[in-house]
Amino acid sequence: MSATAVDQMYSIAEQVFSAMVDGDVGPLQPWIGEVPAIVDPIVGWVDTHGGWTGRAAMTTSRPVAYDLTRALLRMDAHEEVGMEDLVDAYGELVNVVGGNFKALLPASGTLGLPSVANCLPEVVWAVPMEGLDLAWRGHLIIVSIWMFG
3-class secondary-structure state, position 6 = helix
CA distances for 62 relative to 69, 91, 103, 117, 124, angstroms: 10, 13, 29, 10, 27
pLDDT of residue 8: 87
Asked whether residue 2 carries a pLDDT value surpassing 70, the answer given is no
pLDDT of residue 129: 87
Q: What is the domain-level CATH number for residue 24?
A: 3.40.1550.10
Q: What pLDDT band is residue 39 in, cutting at 50, 70 and 90?
A: very high
Under the phi-then-psi rule, with left for phi > 0, alpha for psi from -120 to 50, and beta for the rest, what region is 130? beta
Asked whether residue 59 carries a pLDDT value surpassing 60, the answer given is yes
Domain count across the chain: 1
Query: pLDDT of 40-55, one tens digit each?
Result: 999 999 999 988 889 9
User: How many whole angstroms separate alpha carbon 143 and alpha carbon 148?
Assistant: 17
Q: Which domain holds residue 38?
A: 3-148
Model pTM?
0.92
Asked whether residue 1 carries a pLDDT value surpassing 70, the answer given is no
Let me know: does 52 contact 81? Beta carbons within 8 Å.
Answer: no
Q: Which residues of 84-121 are buried (b: 16+ CB within 10 A; e: fewer)?
A: ebbbbbbbbbbbbbbbbbbeebeeeeebeebbbeeebe
Asked whether residue 128 carries a pLDDT value surpassing 60, the answer given is yes
Let me know: does 15 contact 92? Beta carbons within 8 Å.
Answer: no
pLDDT of residue 149: 79
